[in-house]
Structure 1
Amino acid sequence: MPDVQHGELFLVSPSRDLEDAFREMATDFASEGRDRLLRALDDFGAYVERLSNSASGVGLSNGRVPESHFWLVCSDVIAGTSRLRHTLTPGLEIEGGHIGYDIRPSYRRRGLGTILLRLTLVRAAELGLSRARLTCDADNFGSIRVIENNGGVLDGEAVSLSSGKPIRQYWVPTAFSDSGCGQGA
């Protein structure tokens, strides 16, 4: 699958070639107490293979759906990651949705979340999805802005089963509408 591009930013599939960039990103996330990615460095090749298998539906745990993983890369720096779940379970429709994304701490507040989601929505359209479900904490104003900047329409609110916090539920179009945007004359 060819990379998706926005200016100098590329949405790429995980690759062993980016291990050093991944290490830097994982260390950045660990600085705010999120050290899950550091464990991937114990056997980076196996980690990349697990991500690839997940997209194909190979070796999924019970209740999991196929999920493609992407990295937002600029000049050999991984600025963020996204996950695109190919289908929804009833639980994912309430919380989690089709797409999850993260911008590393040192790259936030630069508009990269909006770009990362936009490029991931292109991938969702390639899977045949006309719209994607996204959810976020009701007090996560950065994610609310990213989702709404990509055309997200609030569909409802719920309470997270994992955190007990209020969450917002959106539907986001994956491609241009028939309004003429991007259409030939």
Structure 2
Amino acid sequence: MLELINPTYNLHSEFLDMVAEYHNAGESRLFDQNNLTLIQENFSAYIQYLENNSQGISLKPGFVPATTFWLVMNSKVILGESQLRHWLVPTLEHQGGHIGYMIRPLQRSKGYGTQILAMTLEKARNMGLSRVLLTCNRDNFASARIIQKNQGKSTSEDILEYTGKLISRYWIDL
């Protein structure tokens, strides 16, 4: 059974396993170094940090409230994580959008990306959003398919100044 839940201390060791899996796949850049330290040294403080982000408490300048969810199977295996940003600022309109998601490396190509996005879209609907923006690198074909399977309509592309990579923007009406 799949559920989209709020982060919980009860899945501490499972979350550490997921972080190690990203690290072993060479994808530890997906986690901010400060968060990695907090995850390893004080997991309950990390959970509180995520809750504070959701409530807009102690946000860094230019950041917006964002709620983190974990996609969990059978209440014990974390398959991935999504983040729902409550509104957009210009930087998020350019890259990032309302929703970001990631599936742990050993669980990819099993349909979980499509499911985590669909479930996060439902959370966005419940939050009162009527449409959401998602972005992905143009060469990230897997992510583009996931967004399209969830009714994402490509609206524009742009080059990121700091990487030179093309990104695609998709809007999804809720």
TM-score, with structure 1 as normaliser: 0.87
Q: Report the equivalent of 2:52.
A: 53
Q: 1:28 aligns with which of 16, 21, 24?
A: 21
Q: Report the equivalent of 1:131.
A: 131
Structure 1: 5+ residue stretches without partners:
1-7, 175-185
Verify: 1:16 aligned to 2:9, yes or no. Answer: yes
| Aligned residue-pair number | 167
Are residues 109 and 132 of structure 1, via their aligned partners in 2, closer, same or farther at CA, if it must alter by over 3 Å?
same
* CA distance in structure 1 between the partners assigned to 2:2 and 2:150 by the alignment: 17
Shift of 1:160: 1.9
Verify: 1:120 aligned to 2:120, yes or no. Answer: yes
Q: Secondary structure at the match of 2:125?
A: helix
Shift of 1:38: 4.5
Q: Report the equivalent of 1:182.
A: none
Q: Do the aligned residues in 2 keep the contact of 1:23 with 1:38 (CA within 8 Å)?
A: no
Which range moves more in the overlay, 67-76 or 31-40? 31-40
Are residues 73 and 166 of structure 1, via their aligned partners in 2, closer, same or farther at CA, if it must alter by over 3 Å?
same
Q: Secondary structure at the match of 2:4?
A: strand
* CA distance in structure 1 between the partners assigned to 2:163 and 2:50 by the alignment: 26
TM-score, with structure 2 as normaliser: 0.93
Structure 1 or 2: more helix by fraction: 2
Q: Report the equivalent of 2:147.
A: 147
Q: Report the equivalent of 1:43.
A: 42
* CA distance in structure 1 between the partners assigned to 2:125 and 2:107 by the alignment: 26
* CA distance in structure 2 between the partners assigned to 1:147 and 1:162 by the alignment: 24
Q: Secondary structure at the match of 2:42?
A: helix
Verify: 1:82 aligned to 2:82, yes or no. Answer: yes
Q: Secondary structure at the match of 1:118?
A: helix
Q: Do the aligned residues in 2 keep the contact of 1:83 with 1:100 (CA within 8 Å)?
A: yes
Equivalent position amino acid for 1:55 in 2: S
* CA distance in structure 1 between the partners assigned to 2:166 and 2:21 by the alignment: 28
Shift of 1:169: 0.2
Structure 2: 5+ residue stretches without partners:
none
Equivalent position amino acid for 1:30 in 2: H
Q: Secondary structure at the match of 1:133?
A: strand
